[in-house]
Amino acid sequence: MENLLLFVSSIRWQDIVDIVLNSYILFRLYVLFRGTPVLRVLIGIALLWFSQRVAVALGLVLTSWAIQGITAAAALIIIVVFRNEIRSVLQAKNLKAILWGVPHQTGETPVETIAETAFELANKRVGAIMVFPGADDLDELIQGGIGWDGLVSREMIGSIFWHDNPVHDGAAIIQGNRIKKVAAVLPLSRRDDLPSRYGTRHRAAVGLAEMTDAMVLVVSEERGSVVLVKGTEIRTIRKKEVLTEAIEEHVGSTKTQWGYRRKEKRELAVAALASLILITAVWFSFTRGQESLVAFDIPVEYVNRNPATEIVDTSVNTIHVGLSGPGTLIKSLRPDQVKVRLDLSKAAVGHNSFAITSDDIDLPPGLVLRKVKPSTVEVTLDVPQEKILPVQVDWVGKLRNDLILTGAKVVPARVKIKGGKTILDGLSTIYTEKVRLDQIEKSGSLKVKLALEPATLMIAAGSSDTVTVDYVVEKRALDLSAR
């Protein structure tokens, strides 16, 4: 539950825009290319891509690599092979149609043309069978057939059912103003009460009509009659006007009640939902699917400090920050995009302790703070000051037993030191770096640097960080070892 809340809280508005935008692009591609072979190939490529992701998830290195190659090649091939279809879609439509419009696949059925052509065929004794689907899906009942997708015209119907045409034996499926399929094989009726003059064409018409709400128009080759079959009713039509009216009634009723528009709307809604689901899945795969961890050492920025004070000491200079987030974000993340800012507006002169919270750390959107180390930072503030301090030599080592160091003069004897007031208040002497006695055998002079402790101390302008030490060594009157 906690993980779910964390996940929901980590979704950015950019992510939602990302998903919606790409879902709409996918949906538009479907709308523009539906009914063309391009869509089927696009679906194939999507399946290839999905297979590749599955292969990656399963750790099938070679398979994923091969599928990735095939997918890339297929994407190129689709553009080359289907360039004409793509061009026709893009050229045939204006910008509004590409971005927003939904082209209807079926137009008004040219009923009069069909009626006229039916009687012309009848006169010429050319057999024909035309199916006008209703709301029922015919795909499962119709076998075979060749996709046609041509506009209905007298010449087109005439040529389809012409004797020498290889597809003239099957049925033509007419949807709207288009002949969707030709040479379709319809289920034959098992009725035994059909007149003996009805051949296979009639039996097929009756077979489909009794199983669906489609209307079937049959032109008899032998007798030149026109028969209309719907449901169980078989009507011989003698006048063109009657046929026109009958077809109009069927097509009109399917439009208003269970028509194609409604079917089309349902199809588009399913496509939109599928696009959304698919893109969401892809988005997850790209982003959340590869949750990654990364850690950086980020320099601490101290902000809003009182200008009269200065930072003389901090417990740390960098904070170890552990982050998690989508792999793509983590991969592109640079340390300088993460900021650790400590607000010193409430800090006082002296020692301050601050707990590092998520408010102190700026992260790019989409990343989650997992670890902060250390969790607290100690900051010492002080008022900058200068102080003149005497210099003392820090002798170390062992002087020869027969020698005695009787005096040393340091030049300059005093130096001006810059640092925090509280530190300087506690200091009364500045020491030199350690000077070894082991090599000293007689009086002499040496230059030595000052040891500034703590390191926040500095030599003020006008003072040198090096002093000269003139020392005096004398022979001991009585050897210590002899004592």
Binding site for another protein (CB under 8 A): 390, 392-399, 404-408, 426-429, 431, 437, 476-477, 480
Are 394 and 466 within 8 A, CB to CB?
no
CB of 401 to another protein, least distance (A): 8
Are 129 and 172 within 8 A, CB to CB?
yes
Taking CA atoms, 399 is separated from 357, 410, 477, in Å, by 56, 19, 15
Are 432 and 448 within 8 A, CB to CB?
yes
- Residue 166, preceding bond cis, omega within 30 degrees? no
C-beta closer to another protein: residue 249 or 479: 479
Are 28 and 281 within 8 A, CB to CB?
no
CB of 456 to another protein, least distance (A): 17
CB of 389 to another protein, least distance (A): 10
C-beta closer to another protein: residue 132 or 471: 471
CB of 437 to another protein, least distance (A): 6
C-beta closer to another protein: residue 461 or 482: 482
Strand 171-175 with 178-185, pairing: antiparallel
Q: DSSP letters along 140-194, please?
A: TT-EEEEEEEEE--HHHHHHHTSTT-TTTTSEEEEETTEEEEEEEEPPPP--S-S
CB of 426 to another protein, least distance (A): 7
CA dihedral 19, 20, 25, 31 (to 10 degrees): 130
CB of 483 to another protein, least distance (A): 10
C-beta closer to another protein: residue 50 or 431: 431
Strand 318-326 with 368-373, pairing: antiparallel
C-beta closer to another protein: residue 374 or 444: 444
C-beta closer to another protein: residue 179 or 424: 424
